[in-house]
């Protein structure tokens, strides 16, 4: 599915979460050092790395989860009826799957393999619009990148805080 489909489903699931007081989480995923991979190995290798990453995501998700390419080497996953603890388990399962998957030229990456960073946001009183949910996951992703990559970080309601991941 494309970004537009994801945004439509995010609005639907958000309304459902508000109406029935269901939890909902959202993951923003970025392939670490992708520009270096693409520049060094060519665009065809980069396209293949994106495809392999997409297969890793799909294999690690449940039937109700909605994965989408967000742009470039970024992916988003909507996790309906999923609280932060379960989202953390899913996000780390995805991170580990990518970590253990063979990518052509993966050994030439800065971490010696292709890795991803993941930002997680969860529906709450403060994070209650599609824009806020995406922005919160994006901020958590930025935090994961700034803390060394190949990790999962969580956005919490307090804008100055984050919960450290793996």
**Could you list the active site residues?**
73
Q: Where are the alpha helices (DSSP H) in 21-127?
A: 34-41, 43-60, 84-100
- CA separation for the pair 127, 81 (Å, rounded): 15
- CA angle (145 as vertex; 139, 148 as ends), nearest 5: 145
DSSP 3-state of 119: strand
Under the phi-then-psi rule, with left for phi > 0, alpha for psi from -120 to 50, and beta for the rest, what region is 105? left
Going along the chain, which residue ranges are E strands?
24-31, 66-71, 74-80, 116-122, 152-155, 162-163
Beta bridge partners of 152: 118
């Amino acid at each position: 599915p494309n970004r537009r489909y994801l945004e439509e489903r995010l609005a639907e699931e958000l309304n459902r979460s508000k109406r029935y007081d269901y939890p909902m989480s959202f993951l923003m995923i970025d392939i670490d050092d992708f520009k270096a991979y693409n520049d060094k190995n060519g665009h065809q290798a980069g396209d293949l790395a994106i495809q392999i990453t997409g297969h890793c995501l799909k294999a690690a998700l449940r039937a109700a989860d909605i994965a989408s390419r967000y742009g470039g080497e970024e992916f988003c996953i909507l996790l309906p009826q999923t609280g932060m603890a379960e989202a953390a388990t899913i996000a780390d399962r995805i991170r580990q799957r990518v970590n253990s998957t063979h990518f052509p030229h993966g050994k030439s990456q800065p971490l010696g393999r292709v890795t991803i960073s993941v930002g997680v946001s969860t529906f709450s009183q403060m994070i209650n619009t599609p824009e806020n949910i995406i922005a919160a996951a994006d901020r958590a992703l930025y935090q994961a990148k700034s803390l060394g990559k190949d990790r999962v970080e969580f956005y919490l309601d307090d804008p100055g805080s984050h919960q450290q991941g793996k």
